[in-house]
């Protein structure tokens, strides 16, 4: 059994494919690719594959992780090309490699977005005021219902730059098997301040990281 890890893009129209539908989509992709996918054993065998992190509906991504197993050792370029030949619009395999780290090693995800506004100076000041608060309390959905969490310690702003009609941000938030923070928590907190109005056309996941800023691979 050969353990394979593929990194793929999900953008454009594909960002409206839900995580549940993505699982169904991947079944069809594997069948059409004719790759020697390894099936689970037991009464109801099915192709084994898993995604490192679920992506929120409407988000784009350049770094989604798909793990699966093969029965034969095939060159990574050939695997990539066979999958890309049957991928739906908006999805593309960027790279294929061996599985090095376990999913449990993931600690953060990075997101980029542009806050579109007619008042970039005012919005930039709102962001600064928000980040200077001693705590940022938000309601987060959990399996047990809504829970009030302080997201302030977990926000890592990698960049925040003003443009003519937008403020462009790159932030990192907790992700993985223990804690997951959605960037909409930060955006909702900014809106709750009642300051400068803005719109966010697209949120894009740009990186998945382990401890010490190591890229997950």
Domain ranges of the chain: 2-100, 105-213
Q: What local confidence, expressed as pLDDT, does residue 199 receive?
A: 97
Burial class (CB in 10 A: 0-12, 13-18, 19+), 33: middle
Q: What local confidence, expressed as pLDDT, does residue 94 receive?
A: 97
Q: Do domains 2-100 and 105-213 have the same CATH topology?
A: yes
The answer to whether 65 touches 7, Cβ cutoff 8 Å, is yes
- The yes or no reply on domain 2-100 and CATH 3.30.70.580 is yes
The answer to whether 37 touches 129, Cβ cutoff 8 Å, is no
Q: What local confidence, expressed as pLDDT, does residue 43 receive?
A: 81
Q: What local confidence, expressed as pLDDT, does residue 163 receive?
A: 94
pLDDT per residue of the chain (217 residues) written in tens, 0 to 9: 899 999 999 999 999 999 999 999 999 999 999 999 998 887 888 888 999 999 999 999 999 999 999 999 999 999 999 999 999 999 999 999 999 999 999 999 999 999 999 999 999 999 999 999 999 999 988 777 888 999 999 999 999 999 999 999 999 999 987 789 999 999 999 999 999 999 999 999 999 999 989 999 9
Q: What local confidence, expressed as pLDDT, does residue 45 receive?
A: 83
d(CA 31, CA 37): 9
Q: What local confidence, expressed as pLDDT, does residue 200 receive?
A: 98
pTM: 0.94
Work out whether strand 60-70 and strand 203-209 pair parallel, antiparallel, or are unpaired: parallel
Q: Determine the straight-line distance between the first and last CA of the chain, rounded to whole angstroms.
A: 19
CATH classification of 105-213, choosing from 1.10.3470, 1.10.150, 3.40.50, 3.30.70?
Answer: 3.30.70
Q: What local confidence, expressed as pLDDT, does residue 153 receive?
A: 96
Which helix (H) or strand (E) is 54 found in, with range? Answer: none
Q: What local confidence, expressed as pLDDT, does residue 41 receive?
A: 82
Q: What local confidence, expressed as pLDDT, does residue 130 receive?
A: 97
Task: Extract the runs of DSSP E, i.e. beta strands, from the chain.
Answer: 2-10, 49-51, 60-70, 91-98, 108-116, 137-142, 145-150, 156-162, 166-174, 203-209
């Amino acid at each position: 059994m050969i353990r394979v890890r593929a990194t793929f893009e999900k953008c454009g129209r594909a960002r409206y494919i839900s995580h549940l539908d993505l699982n169904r989509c991947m079944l069809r992709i594997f069948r059409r690719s004719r790759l020697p996918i390894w099936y689970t054993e037991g009464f109801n065998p099915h192709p084994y594959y898993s995604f490192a992190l679920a992506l929120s509906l409407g988000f784009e991504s350049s770094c989604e992780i798909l793990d699966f197993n093969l029965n034969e050792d095939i060159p990574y370029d050939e695997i990539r090309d066979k999958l890309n030949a049957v991928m739906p619009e908006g999805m593309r395999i960027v790279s294929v490699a061996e599985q090095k780290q376990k999913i449990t090693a993931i600690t953060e995800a990075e997101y980029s977005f542009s806050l579109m506004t007619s008042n970039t100076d005012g919005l930039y000041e709102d962001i600064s005021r928000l980040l200077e608060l001693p705590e940022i309390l938000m309601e987060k959905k959990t399996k047990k219902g809504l829970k009030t969490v302080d997201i302030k310690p977990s926000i890592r702003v990698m960049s925040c730059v003003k443009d003519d009609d937008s403020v462009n941000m790159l932030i990192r938030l907790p992700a993985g098997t223990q804690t997951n923070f959605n960037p909409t928590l930060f955006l909702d907190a900014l809106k709750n301040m009642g300051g400068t109005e803005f719109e966010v056309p697209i949120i894009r996941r740009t990186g998945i990281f382990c401890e010490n800023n190591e890229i997950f691979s």
